[in-house]
């Protein structure tokens, strides 16, 4: 029986596909390719093209083969963009999750791992945020993820057979190894986000330009924002472990933080990137703060370590080295152009 990955053609989803395949677990993908890429879904894995918020598309993906569980990653993910188009975020992230739950219930598909976010917390109090910290999301994106968690919680009260957990990711970076596709090509799973730090810095370096630090007057040790960065390969492993535990009938907590529990500043990240690519002399510029960037977000990963035995294995240098190798692999520049064209069309 397969696990269905919504959003499996995206940056994180495609790494989860690889983790499931490496563990000999069958996966299929539902994705509308609005920000994902067909080539991120490897040969042999079925891609059902369709929209989460369309019941017929979700039904088709669930009926095409037996499905035992769902990893639900599909959706819109830019906190900074979401205040401009809040209804898009509610339609895809909230209505999409509601439709998925309804279609799963109609078929007795009762295992769900939901992709949530540290954006559900908003500005943190104290040094490190644990799962039961107050939730004060500061954007429609963060709100839509929190509502997604509530939908799942309430549906599991109505249908106790639904076994679920939500993984609240912190800042996801890095890339898995560049793979040979077996037909003379290579597959590099790259984060093509227009707003995330790694692709922003890599785009600047590829043009020979100095990368930018947004804001150097935050109340942090070096004035730049502090984040908790987790390697996408470690994150993918956390999903696999969650799915295995649900398959084994283990009760999981409603939510787990997935991060390293370690704050790294934007200056530190940029300096590490410049050192990995041998461009220390280039340096970087300081630009004004971006709206909606809290000073610091660092998560405690103690609960997931205790319940799953999951620990992040890959450090900052591995995150930068893997991401830079993938960025420079064949296919990345073409996908960057395709992504620009898609966003220009709206």
Ligand X SMILES: NC(=O)c1ccc[n+]([C@@H]2O[C@H](COP(=O)([O-])OP(=O)(O)OC[C@H]3O[C@@H](n4cnc5c(N)ncnc54)[C@H](O)[C@@H]3O)[C@@H](O)[C@H]2O)c1
Could you say whether residue 300 binds ligand X (CB under 6 A)?
A: no
The residues in 174-193 that bind ligand X, with binding defined as CB under 6 A, are none
The residues in 7-26 that bind ligand X, with binding defined as CB under 6 A, are 7, 9-13
Could you say whether residue 245 binds ligand X (CB under 6 A)?
A: no
> Which one, 282 or 318, has the nearer CB to ligand X?
318
Give the shortest CB-83-to-ligand X separation in angstroms.
16
Secondary structure string (H, E, C) spanning the chain: CEEEEECCCCHHHHHHHHHHHHCCCCEEEEECCCCCCHHHCCCCCCEEECCCCCHHHHHHHHHCCCEEEEEECCCCCCCCCCCCCHHHHHHHHHHHHHHHHHHHHHHCCCEEEEEEEHHHCCCCCCCCECCCCCCCCCCHHHHHHHHHHHHHHHHHHHCCCCEEEEEEECEEECCCCCEECCCCCEECCCCCCCCCHHHHHHHHHHCCCCCEEECCCCCCCCCCCEECEEEHHHHHHHHHHHHHHHHCCCCCCCEEEECCCCCEEHHHHHHHHHHHCCCHHHCCEEECCCCCCCCEECECCHHHHHHHCCCCCCCHHHHHHHHHHHHCCCCHHHHHHHHHHHHHHC
Could you say whether residue 257 binds ligand X (CB under 6 A)?
A: no
Q: Which of 141, 169, 229, 284 is catalytic?
A: 141
Give the shortest CB-73-to-ligand X separation in angstroms.
4
Give the shortest CB-160-to-ligand X separation in angstroms.
26
Residue 284 bears catalytic tag: no
> Which one, 115 or 155, has the nearer CB to ligand X?
115
> Which one, 53 or 81, has the nearer CB to ligand X?
53
> Which one, 59 or 282, has the nearer CB to ligand X?
59
Could you say whether residue 96 binds ligand X (CB under 6 A)?
A: yes
Stretch that binds ligand X, among 75-83, 120-128, 314-322, 333-341 (CB under 6 A): 75-83
> Which one, 31 or 336, has the nearer CB to ligand X?
31
Could you say whether residue 115 binds ligand X (CB under 6 A)?
A: yes
Could you say whether residue 32 binds ligand X (CB under 6 A)?
A: yes
Q: Footprint of ligand X on this chain (CB under 6 A)?
A: 7, 9-13, 31-36, 51-53, 73-77, 92, 96, 115, 117, 169, 171-172
Residues recognised as catalytic: 141
């Amino acid at each position: 029986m397969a696990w269905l990955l919504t959003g499996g053609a995206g940056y994180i989803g495609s790494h989860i596909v690889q983790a499931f395949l490496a563990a000999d677990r069958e996966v299929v993908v539902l994705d509308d390719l609005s920000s994902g890429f067909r080539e991120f879904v490897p040969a042999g894995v079925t891609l059902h093209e369709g929209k989460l918020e369309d019941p017929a598309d979700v039904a088709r993906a669930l009926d095409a083969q037996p499905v035992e569980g769902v990893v639900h990653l599909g959706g819109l993910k830019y906190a900074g963009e979401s205040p401009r188009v809040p209804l898009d975020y509610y339609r895809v992230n909230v209505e999409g999750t509601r439709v998925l739950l309804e279609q799963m219930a109609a078929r007795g598909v009762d295992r769900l791992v939901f992709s949530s976010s540290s954006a559900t917390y908003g500005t943190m109090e104290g040094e490190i945020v644990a799962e039961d910290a107050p939730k004060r999301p500061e954007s429609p994106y963060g709100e839509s993820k929190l509502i997604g968690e509530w939908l799942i919680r309430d549906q599991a009260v109505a249908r106790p057979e639904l076994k679920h957990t939500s993984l609240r990711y912190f800042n996801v970076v890095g890339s898995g190894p560049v793979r040979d596709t077996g037909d003379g090509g290579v597959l590099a799973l790259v984060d093509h986000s227009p707003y995330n730090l790694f692709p922003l810095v890599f785009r600047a370096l590829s043009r020979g330009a100095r990368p930018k630090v947004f804001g150097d007057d935050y109340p942090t040790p070096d004035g730049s924002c502090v984040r908790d960065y987790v390697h996408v390969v470690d994150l993918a492993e956390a999903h696999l472990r969650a799915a295995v535990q649900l398959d084994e009938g283990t009760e999981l907590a409603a939510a787990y933080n997935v991060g390293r529990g370690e704050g790294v500043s934007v200056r530190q990240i940029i300096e590490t990137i410049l050192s990995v690519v041998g461009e220390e002399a280039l340096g970087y510029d300081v630009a004004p703060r971006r709206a909606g960037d809290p000073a610091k977000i660092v998560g405690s990963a103690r609960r997931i370590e205790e319940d799953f035995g999951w620990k992040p294995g890959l450090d900052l240098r591995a995150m930068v080295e893997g991401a830079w190798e993938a960025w420079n692999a064949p296919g990345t520049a073409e996908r960057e152009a395709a992504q620009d064209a898609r966003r220009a069309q709206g």
